[in-house]
């Protein structure tokens, strides 16, 4: 299912291939975020043009809207949205805990009110796995509780206990359904999410428990939730070091290009983050020489494309900074789209370049050069 293709000689960076029902993913890999079945402002054609291998969507959001019935009638999420490549769905645990109102966590699962219309819902870990199976997701994430920073150790320990039990129940339900897939290649992957807040001993316990249960891949959850940068890096490195090497490693919700280089060097294979699209909608563009805040008045009469030599549609078609700034200042949607397009391309291209650097044995040199220019 996961094959390591190349390993870096100086770090734990590696490249690999992860086989999913909708195709093989080359890692390290970035998933643009399509929370509500759309990578914000972009069409499928736009994101394919960026070289995107796979996208991430969200169970909590899809469950509330359009709802699983519509997705089933459509023949699954892929057919509903017309996306033919792999989709990873997050369980929506994070969203239940951050967006939903009147949330109550019980051992059985989580009770909450919809942030859209206030309707009451209950989801068990089993429900969350079944929903994702019905969506036709390629990579399924179990329900977990994402602990915010800072968290008391007692709370973090209790939360981890629950998350671990949910992980086990998720695997059980997934296994029951596994037999439905006549062809093993059509069976989605189920990942385990290691929580544990900022406590290394809890992180260790979390991973050991997950490895016992046995998942198709392992994810670090609950980082970048408000803790200082050094802690993010320390926990990421520590947790990744505990994951079994021959399985794919996923860092959820991370991050900046700098974070990505760090995590790759610690052995991470998969990333998702709203940063390229959220920044795009704020008019902030990623370039090899750092971020450009295109609302800034210095771009008023700057008629260069966002980044010379960039292969994204915005730069290839010649849209200039002054025009994009004008569009953003004038609340013209095209401006948000052009910067989002550029940023998604930037992230996808960065991952491709990292992969190539690992495979040609020059990851450290590439990283150093990139970071020197970027900072």
> Given the rule CB under 8 A, which residues bind a copy of itself?
36-38, 40-45, 65-66, 69-70, 73-74, 79-82, 300-301, 303, 313, 317-320, 322-323, 326-327, 329-330, 332-338
CA distance 75 to 81: 10
Phi and psi at 235, nearest 5°, equal -65, -40
Q: Is 46 an annotated catalytic residue?
A: no
Query: Distance (Å, rounded) from C-alpha 89 to C-alpha 334?
Result: 28
C-beta closer to a copy of itself: residue 142 or 335: 335
Residues 127, 138, 259, 272: which is the catalytic one?
Answer: 272
Minimum distance from residue 262 beta carbon to a copy of itself (Å): 32
Which of 240, 328 has the CB closer to a copy of itself?
Answer: 328
Report the half-sphere exposure of 161 (CA within 13 A, side-chain side): 8
Minimum distance of a copy of itself from residue 45's CB (angstroms): 6
Closest approach of a copy of itself to the CB of residue 294, in Å: 13
Neighbours of 145 (CB within 10 A): 21
Q: Which is nearer to a copy of itself, 119 or 179 (CB)?
A: 119
Considering beta carbons, is residue 207 or 327 the nearer one to a copy of itself? 327
Distance CA 217, CA 352 (A): 21
- CA neighbor of 146 nearest in space, from 129, 173, 172, 166: 166
Give one DSSP letter per residue of 49-89, joined into a string: HTT---EEEEHHHHHHTT-HHHHHHHTSHHHHHT--S-EEE
Contacts of 138 (CB under 8 A, 6+ apart): 20, 21, 22, 54, 86, 87, 88, 188, 189
The single residue of 46, 90, 127, 262 carrying the catalytic annotation is: 90
CB of 38 to a copy of itself, least distance (A): 4
- Tell me if 135 sits within 8 A of 62, measured CB to CB: yes
202 versus 328: smaller Cβ distance to a copy of itself? 328
Question: With the C-alpha atoms ordered 273, 278, 284, 285, is the resulting torsion angle positive or negative?
Answer: positive
State the nearest-atom distance from the C-beta of 69 to a copy of itself, in Å: 8
Output the smallest distance, CB 219 to a copy of itself, in A: 26
Residues in the chain, total: 375
**327: its two tokens:** 């569009």
Residue whose CB is less far from a copy of itself, 190 or 327: 327
Q: How far is the CB of 47 from a copy of itself (least distance, A)?
A: 10
Q: Which is nearer to a copy of itself, 34 or 263 (CB)?
A: 34
Phi-psi region of 226 (alpha: psi -120 to 50; beta: other; left: phi over 0): left
90 is catalytic: yes
- Measured at the alpha carbon of residue 344, what is the angle toward residues 271 and 293, in degrees to the nearest 5? 110
Active site residues: 90, 272
């Amino acid at each position: 299912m996961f094959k390591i293709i190349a390993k870096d000689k100086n770090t734990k960076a590696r490249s690999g291939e992860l086989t999913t029902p909708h195709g093989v993913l080359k890692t390290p890999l970035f998933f643009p975020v399509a929370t509500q079945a759309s990578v914000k402002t972009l069409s499928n054609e736009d994101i394919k043009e960026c070289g995107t291998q796979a996208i991430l969507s969200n169970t909590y959001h899809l469950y509330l809207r359009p709802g699983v019935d519509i997705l089933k009638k459509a023949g699954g999420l892929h057919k509903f949205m017309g996306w033919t490549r792999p989709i990873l769905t997050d369980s929506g645990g994070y969203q239940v805990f951050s967006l939903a109102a009147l949330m109550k966590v019980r051992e059985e699962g989580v009770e909450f009110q919809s942030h859209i219309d206030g309707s009451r819902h209950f989801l068990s870990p089993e429900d969350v796995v079944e929903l994702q199976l019905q969506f036709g997701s390629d990579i399924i994430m179990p329900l977990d509780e994402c602990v915010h920073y800072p968290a008391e150790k007692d709370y973090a320990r209790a939360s981890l206990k629950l998350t671990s039990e949910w992980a086990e129940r998720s695997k059980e339900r997934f296994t029951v359904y596994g037999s439905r897939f006549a062809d093993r290649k059509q069976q989605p992957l189920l990942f385990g999410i290691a929580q544990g807040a900022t406590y290394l001993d809890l992180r260790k316990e979390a991973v050991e428990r997950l490895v016992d249960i046995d998942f198709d891949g392992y994810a670090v959850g609950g980082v970048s939730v408000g803790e200082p940068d050094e802690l993010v890096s320390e926990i990421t490195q520590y947790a990744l070091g505990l994951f079994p090497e021959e399985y794919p490693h996923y860092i959820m919700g991370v991050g900046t290009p700098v974070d990505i280089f760090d995590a790759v060097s610690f052995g991470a294979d998969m990333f998702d983050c709203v940063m390229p699209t959220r920044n795009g909608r704020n008019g902030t563009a990623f370039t090899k020489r750092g971020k450009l805040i295109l609302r800034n008045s210095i771009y008023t009469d700057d008629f260069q494309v966002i980044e010379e030599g960039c292969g994204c549609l915005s730069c290839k078609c010649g849209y200039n900074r002054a025009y994009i700034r004008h569009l953003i200042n004038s609340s013209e949607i095209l401006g948000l789209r052009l910067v989002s397009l550029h940023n998604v391309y930037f992230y996808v291209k960065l991952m491709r370049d990292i992969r190539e650097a690992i495979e040609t044995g020059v990851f450290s040199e590439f990283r150093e050069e990139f970071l020197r220019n970027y900072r």
